[in-house]
Amino acid sequence: MTSATPRRHRAAAWACCAWLAFFVVSHVLAVIFPGEDPTGDGPWGRTAYVVYNVVLIAMAAAGAVLVLAAVRPWGRRLPRPLVLVPLWFGSVLLVVRGVPGMAENVLVVTGVAPHGLLGTIDGAEADPGTRQFWTSMAVNAYFFLGAVTLLPVARAATRRRPPSPGTRAG
């Protein structure tokens, strides 16, 4: 590691890489072991399900590389927009998915909105004694954690100065 990147930024980057690695592995497993009905009774077929997951896997894998590029010396050789645009795009996606999901978790668990923010949680998903309830809680918390780990990396990468002309980045 380089002393030019503060330890907290490197720690955030590695935490984000761990989050992304888990995301990649879970989606690879979802493609390999799709279960009885991976399409969820939707109008799309298995091919669309696989393509969707492969796109997510590729995005997350590229994201892991770019997260490391944001804090490692070799990342300074990459054009700043190549690193910053995907980091901020991913941050926005995770905030849009993670923050309302976590708010919904809090509202459902406290009983303020037992059927969720939009009133769409019912049946087994609304019963704290079921696996579906806790799976939904875990997924919402997981995306919130993704936002919490990626935002500091995107912010640090934005503040990081490019190398001076004529100097090597490492």
Query: Tens of pLDDT along 58-84?
Result: 999 999 999 999 989 999 899 999 999
Span 92-114, mean pLDDT? 91
Q: In terms of C-beta density within 10 A (0-12 exposed, 13-18 middle, 19 or more buried), how is residue 4 classed?
A: middle
**Domain span at 54:** 8-159
In a domain, 101, yes or no: yes
Query: Tens of pLDDT along 19-47?
Result: 999 999 999 999 998 877 777 666 777 88
Of 19, 22, 1, 2, the closest CA to residue 152 belongs to 19
Span 85-114, mean pLDDT? 92
Query: So what's the pLDDT on residue 162?
Result: 60
In a domain, 140, yes or no: yes
In a domain, 138, yes or no: yes
Number of domains composing the chain: 1
In a domain, 169, yes or no: no
One-letter amino acid for residue 85 of the chain: V
